[in-house]
Chain A
Amino acid sequence: MKNFISMTLNGRSRDDAVPGNMLLVDFLRETVGMTGTKIGCDGGECGCCTVLIDGKPRHACLTLAASCDGTEVETIESLETGGRLSAIQRGFHEKLGAQCGFCTPGMVMAAEGLLRENANPNEDEIRQGMAANICRCTGYVKIIESVQAAAEEIASKEDAA
């Protein structure tokens, strides 16, 4: 049985027929071909597949593609504008929040969700906001610094505007 779904993916609307048991992460990677969203575990353990659904961070490995009918889905591929890194991506790049980079798309999307909700989080709020994402390289020190740097950059841009 296939389900017909309409969603907005990274700002573009699309219609698809998906099997009822297809996970969103497999839909994104195998059907759409967007491999920025990673799979690091067997379901709900690592957060590497974090995407935004209607603006909220969600595990794409715990979400059925069919359940995304009528939603807006955003992945790591949506963040760059005009070929330039977003403030959060720049933060992770410049502050070394990414080492091997495998958890990074999920981390960046979790941070994106967090900063949309709370533009000026303190350290505890950053920890709470990123708690569903595992990194094995950094010890998280520079991930916290990356999110802080991004928040500052976003704030300074808004001040200037």
Chain B
Amino acid sequence: MNETMPIDPEKVEPVKSVGVPMPLVDGPEKVSGKANYTADFMELDALVGRILRSPVAHAEILSIDTAAAEALPGVEALVTGADFVGQFGVLPIARTEWPIARDRVRYRGEPIAAVAAIDVETAQKALDLIEFEYTELPAYFTADDAIAEGVTPLHEKRPNNVERHVEYDLGEVDKGFEDADLIREGTYDCAEVCQVQTEPHAALAAYDGERDQLTVHASTQVPYYVHLMLEQTLGMPKSKIRVIKPHIGGGFGSRTECLHVELVASALARKCNGTVRIILSREETFVTHRGRPEQKTTLKIGMSKDGRITAVDTTTTQHGGAYAGYGTVTILYSGSMVFALYDIQNARYNGYRVLTNTPPCGAFRGHGTVNVRFAFESLMDDMATELGLDPFEVRRKNLLKAPTFTANDLMVNSYGLPECLDIVEKASGWKDRKGKLEPYRGLGIACSHYVSGASKPVNWTGEPHATVNIKLDFDGSLTILTGAPEIGQGSSTILTQCVAEVLGLDVTRIRILTSDSLVTPKDNGAYSSRVTYMVGNAAIDAATNLKAILTEAAARKMDVQPEDVECLGEVYRAGSQDQGMTFEEVVIAALEGTGTITARGNFDTIPESWGGDKYRGAAIGGSMAFSYAAQVVEIAIDPDTADIHVEKVWVAHDCGKALNPLSVEGQIEGSVWMGMGQAMTEETRYHNGLGITGNMLDYRVPTIIESPPIETHIVESIDPHGPFGAKEAGEASLAGFLPALTNAIADALDIRVSELPITPDRLMEIMEDKKKEASKKVDA
């Protein structure tokens, strides 16, 4: 039997990978249970780490007496805030959080001590022995309470509990309103929601005292930030730290920043010179949530009779918990994205990020854009109805024309929204069915968009945005080395496809190793939909560089010029009559004299994409490209129970070139569905700061039973800078569901829902109120 089949150069063609629907490269281990997540590393000597959490929402810490706990046999280490040398946080200017509280606790559930013990029982017993003395301070659970006169500030540097006030005034807003034929204002409220990724947070930290080296496995989207924060909080040199991100059970922004779990596990491991595993419970994962903040938006839109928007004025307040986290970025995103979906020149924005005594919020999928999109698309629909215009037509009246820059200087080179609108209008049968459905049924439309990576990184280092290495060795195997975290979004598959496409090889020839700081190049992480765009481009660059090396080697061997060499993937040849060299032969030629080859590729954003400087923070929102989506939601409401049944969703998403149409569909379906959860059932609730929805039943995640059929259409407005023209696919379609649903409710019941989630009991109340109003009118 021949080891390799003889290759007929007549028949050899470069293999197509891009644009081909393809299962995930790491699918087999996921479906067979072989994929190891952080909790699956069963280190025999691992100690059990447990965290003691604050029972009060706001207090001065008087003392934490750990003597009895430390004396308990089986307790190997105990740490408090005193064991850390620095604070952590996302923005270099707002690192205000200690891994374990010092001096003050600011929310219920904030860590106040942690132990590592030989087993769970001992660890729990030790926590029970810790004496915590404190003086309670006034605590604030709503934005209004937190910013009232004479409040106690949560942080000294924020005397009125406003973490950030963002303000801008673009164009001529007052004149815009003067020019309007119709001005309407509405207030919209979205509850706090949580990512509820299926894998609870976990960390495994191993400290090697002999070498002063720390190895951390962490369930994170940002291993590089974890690395930086370990250095910062433990005072260890970066070079002594190794961070590994194993398989991750979903992110959705829940671990887009370093969390205390990784830092605490590491501090414990160092203290006991051993290995410590902390696996948070689901309830603790809710406390550590970094979800989407509660947000109240008052929006005013001016519109001409034909539906052109003449001015927009947005005031919005988020209460985001006790620490800054991503908060400043979230409130900036709300401002930069609220109007930039459309061609609007006159826009005013006042955004307030408020500190409250609840667990800190963060960067939930669709970061900052979702709740203001709900407000915008709701009011736009009401105004269309009032002006007698079709909701599709109103949106079409306000479309951008790419290439362009928005009023806040966001660079838009590709804009597939018009096509998205056409597709869902047709697919849903809108023209024939809208307004003609049976009673209690409705159709609603909304649009949404999102960035393809933030053009300015949070940590400015002067390095390229993304770097990918490809290793090629004697065996002809190609290994992609990337720090880009695969978190289930399929990034490893996409990067493999990009490399395969450039080299014309089948994806099965290529392996990928991700997110181990020992061997993979640094990467900023999996957030703001940056990986496909930025790391994809870096992968293409690396593969192109590798191809040049191989082509040169083939040319040398065949004694021709490199430009005369044709790369067919498995064969390199000079001219169509040439027998050529097999890929293996080219590899042997390329390794002569150099040995193992590592080809590097980089990607950087261009300054035009940085978002301008018309107001402080205008860089947030700046991106190389934006994805666009439109969706129609059809519902049926039970008049007796107010139960809303989503019959069907038609969604069209402009993701540029769909590198892998199968995984693009998966991303869009997941986004729409997650939007449905926020719109209909999901809500993180607290009682005096105590989480009361810390499980997946009280925090009602939609099950397969009520999840609708989703008809997904992919629109490919090829982006000039995207990898093979690709853009974002995994976030934009979330935001549109919320207003599409409430617009459908308006269609069905003539009721404007402005508070989410719209649970059956809430809708029932509104329906009852409406009936009473109607009967009053009849009586009168």
Contacts and interface: CB of A to CB of B under 8 A. Distances in A.
A98 B27 contact: yes
B33 A77 contact: yes
Contact of A85 (B31, B195, B701, B703): B31
Nearest to A30: B42
B36 interface: yes
Interface in A37-68: 37-42, 45-46, 48
Given A101-B35, A139-B672, A45 B696 contact: yes
A136 interface: yes
B249 A143 contact: no
A143 to B, nearest CB: 7
A142 B282 CA distance: 26
Given A76-B33, A136-B701, A142 B249 contact: no
A134 B745 CA distance: 27
Contacts of A41: 200, 282, 695-696
A127 interface: yes
A40 B32 CA distance: 17
A19 to B, nearest CB: 11
Interface residues of A, number: 55
A161 to B, nearest CB: 24
A101 B30 contact: yes
B250 interface: yes
In this complex, the member of A30, A48, A102 whose beta carbon has the largest number of chain B beta carbons within 10 angstroms is A102
Given A40-B249, A134-B198, A142-B666, A101 B31 contact: yes
B709 A46 contact: no
Interface in A115-143: 126-128, 130-131, 133-143
B249 A37 contact: no
Given A96-B663, A96-B666, A99-B666, A136 B705 contact: no
A100 B198 contact: yes
Given A33-B42, A139-B672, A142-B669, A45 B247 contact: no
Contacts of A13: none
Interface in B457-500: 487-490
A73 interface: no
Interface string B644-677: 0000000000000000001101100110111010
Interface string A83-123: 00100011011111111111111001000000000000000
Nearest to A141: B669
A85 B28 contact: yes
A102 B249 contact: yes
Nearest to A130: B704
Given A30-B42, A46-B198, A136-B674, A101 B669 contact: no
B729 to A, nearest CB: 12
A154 interface: no
A93 B24 contact: yes
A75 interface: yes
B545 interface: no
A34 B42 CA distance: 10
A80 interface: yes
A136 B27 contact: no
A53 B11 CA distance: 53
B376 interface: no
A24 interface: no
B246 to A, nearest CB: 11
Contacts of B249: 38, 40, 100-103
Contact of A92 (B31, B35, B487): B31
Contact of B30 (A79, A98, A134, A139): A98
B40 A138 contact: no
B366 to A, nearest CB: 14
B658 to A, nearest CB: 13
What secondary structure prevails in chain B residues at the interface with A?
A: loop
B405 interface: no
A48 B488 contact: no
A35 B34 CA distance: 8
A136 B704 contact: no
A136 B490 contact: no
Contact of B696 (A100, A134, A139): A134
A44 B665 CA distance: 30
Nearest to A42: B282
Nearest to A88: B31
B233 interface: no
Contacts of B27: 92-94, 96, 98, 101
In this complex, the member of B35, B247, B710 whose beta carbon has the largest number of chain A beta carbons within 10 angstroms is B35
Interface string B360-400: 00000000000000000000000000000000000000000
Contact of B32 (A46, A89, A140): A89
A131 B198 contact: no
B262 interface: no
Contact of A75 (B28, B29, B33): B33
A114 to B, nearest CB: 12
A133 to B, nearest CB: 7
Contacts of B707: 139-141
B96 interface: no
Contacts of A29: 40, 42
B670 A137 contact: yes
B778 interface: no
A144 interface: yes
Contacts of A137: 198, 250, 488, 666, 670
Interface in B547-580: none
A157 B669 CA distance: 31
Given A41-B282, A99-B670, A127 B705 contact: yes
A116 B735 CA distance: 39
A134 B32 contact: no
Interface string B161-179: 0000000000000000000
B196 interface: yes
B198 A48 contact: yes
A39 to B, nearest CB: 7
A23 B28 CA distance: 28
Contacts of B506: none
Contact of B281 (A33, A42, A98, A143): A42
A131 B26 CA distance: 26
Given A98-B24, A100-B488, A140-B707, A40 B199 contact: yes
B197 interface: yes
B631 to A, nearest CB: 13
B235 interface: no
B32 A100 contact: no
A105 B33 CA distance: 6
B53 to A, nearest CB: 15
Contacts of A35: 33, 36, 39-40, 42
Contacts of A34: 33
A131 B33 contact: no
Nearest to B39: A39
A90 B32 CA distance: 9
B252 interface: yes
B93 interface: no
A11 to B, nearest CB: 15
Contacts of A90: 31
A92 B31 CA distance: 7
A103 B33 contact: no
Contact of B23 (A93, A133, A141): A93
A102 B697 contact: no
Given A85-B31, A140-B704, 20 more contacts: A38-B198, A38-B249, A40-B199, A40-B249, A42-B281, A77-B33, A80-B32, A89-B28, A96-B27, A98-B31, A99-B488, A99-B670, A100-B487, A101-B31, A102-B198, A103-B198, A131-B704, A135-B198, A136-B670, A138-B673
Interface of B: 23-24, 26-37, 39-40, 42, 195-200, 247-252, 279, 281-283, 487-490, 662-663, 665-666, 669-670, 672-674, 676, 695-697, 701, 703-705, 707, 709-710
9 contacts: A41-B200, A89-B31, A92-B27, A94-B23, A96-B662, A102-B197, A133-B704, A138-B666, A139-B674
A-B pairs, top 5 by smallest CB distance, nearest first, are A36-B33, A100-B488, A102-B249, A101-B30, A139-B673
